[in-house]
Amino acid sequence: MDGEQLMSGELDNSFNALMVSGEGESGQAHHEGTGTTLLGWKDLPMELLLRILSMAGDDRMVIVGSGVCTGWRDTLEWGVTNLSLSWCQAHMNDLVMSLAQKFTKLQVLSLRQIKPQLEDSAVEAVANNCHDLRELDLSRSFRLSDRSLYALAHGCPHLTRLNISGCSNFSDAALAYLSSQCKNLKCLNLCGCVRAVSDRALQAIACNCGQLQSLNLGWCDSVTDKGVTSLASGCPELRALDLCGCVLITDESVVALANGCPHLRSLGLYYCQNITDRAMYSLAANSRRVRSKGRSWDAAARKNAGAGADGLASLNISQCTALTPPAVQAVCDSFPALHTCPERHSLIISGCLSLTSVHCACAHHPHRHGRAILSNHAY
């Protein structure tokens, strides 16, 4: 291909420069560490080759490099553990099926797409060959079906991070099965997976994935208190939970999270209009209980992280129109980290005109003309 020829030419030019700078009396370049003579790119030691390609910052160079010679191919197939193909705008499915058989030691793989390209055959190829995979991004893979989740469940049991946001064809049965096989999951993005995310699926996740720390359930509008309370009891290590657009949940969900997830740092409740003051007071009360028992952080962690390192640092209650200022104020007063976010708004209350009196330096309000403003004084 023209692109490959261009990159190969660049490699040749770079090697010639290396030869000039490192040549000895014999006119040949030497590698000081091994004492070997470098006659061409194919003679580079494995460690140096991986170092050069990692500094290139473009995974396309890795793919081209794997075709230079047998030695390079073997080195890259064994040495490359992190690969992103998100740059691929066409024929990604064929590319993944080809590369999955070569790069079997992958631990991190990003297949994020602008337009849907991936099909189940590509994910099955990854699952059949990349058994050490830890992190996988399949976001916006609209063409995938349950076949992909079942393949990952069987072939990639060591997954710790999985992003399948926007994959609207998955079923809750397939997601539940995945959780039963991938029990090391710590970060799971299910935003927009409207068919997959049900209370039954969340109960399976709570039962199987006790190490889960981050979960995005945004706009999964069939979720109810039953599913969230299961998460609160089964996933006590949760740090971040996005329930934005989960319109069926009530205070029961927030109360359960406040009681069961003492490490919770980020909570998204945008457009959860059944949330009332009871939920806010529960968060505030449990903040005091956690601090008094010292359950959030040990003394060393607190010292290293600084003051206010425990408790909520981000709370989105936009469009939660049933809330009143005293209840939200109680949350602000209970979580110092909500006041220490100079570069971002950590308390988001857009669309709640009744909360304009909340005294929080990092409270985020809509401007009367529709623009958000940040004030350093009481509203």
CATH number of the domain residue 282 falls in: 3.80.10.10
Give tens-digit pLDDT for 305-329. Answer: 444 457 999 999 999 999 999 999 9
In a shared domain, residues 271 and 328: yes
Please tell me which of 55-69, 80-94, 201-215 the model is most confident about, judged by mean pLDDT.
201-215
In a shared domain, residues 140 and 175: yes
Closest by Cα among 215, 218, 245, 244 to 230 = 215
Token couple for 350: 């857009």
**Residue 293 confidence class, pLDDT cut points 50, 70, 90:** low
Give tens-digit pLDDT for 24-70. Answer: 444 454 555 545 555 555 666 767 666 666 665 667 777 877 766 67
Torsion angle of alpha carbons 360, 363, 367, 368, nearest 10°?
A: -50
CB distance 69 to 46 below 8 Å? no
Closest by Cα among 273, 242, 236 to 257 = 236
In a shared domain, residues 202 and 147: yes
| 3-state class (DSSP) for residue 366 | strand
* Residue 142, in any domain of the structure: yes
In a shared domain, residues 177 and 72: no
In a shared domain, residues 59 and 90: no
pLDDT at 287: 85
Backbone angles phi, psi at 187, to 5 degrees: -130, 125
Domain with 137 in it: 81-291+311-348
Token couple for 108: 């991190």
Residues 334-355 as b/e (b if ≥16 CB within 10 A, e otherwise) read bbbbbbeeeeebbbbbbebeeb
Strand partners, 268: 242, 316
Number of structural domains found in the chain:
2
- In this prediction the pTM is 0.81
**Residue 93 confidence class, pLDDT cut points 50, 70, 90:** very high
In a shared domain, residues 103 and 73: no
**Residue 207 confidence class, pLDDT cut points 50, 70, 90:** very high
| H or E element, residue 14 | helix 2-22
* Residue 305, in any domain of the structure: no
180 has a pLDDT exceeding 70? yes
- By residue count, the chain amounts to 379
In a shared domain, residues 175 and 136: yes
Stronger pLDDT, 93 or 19, i.e. the higher one: 93
Using a pLDDT cut of 70, give the percent of the chain over it: 71
pLDDT at 336: 83
In a shared domain, residues 322 and 279: yes
Mean pLDDT of 84-89: 93
In a shared domain, residues 60 and 164: no
Stronger pLDDT, 12 or 177, i.e. the higher one: 177
For residues 235 and 214, what is the distance between their CA atoms, to the nearest angstrom? Answer: 10
Using a pLDDT cut of 90, give the percent of the chain over it: 60
* Residue 29, in any domain of the structure: no
203 has a pLDDT exceeding 90? yes
Strand partners, 137: 110, 163
CB distance 349 to 317 below 8 Å? yes
* Residue 174, in any domain of the structure: yes
**Residue 120 confidence class, pLDDT cut points 50, 70, 90:** very high
Q: Which residue has the tokens 């059949």?
A: 128
Task: Report the amino acid identity of residue 210.
Answer: G
pLDDT at 361: 53
Cβ contacts of residue 145 below 8 Å, gap of 6+? Answer: 120, 169, 170
Q: What is the mean pLDDT of the chain?
A: 82
Token couple for 97: 């099926």
For residues 89 and 130, what is the distance between their CA atoms, to the nearest angstrom? Answer: 23
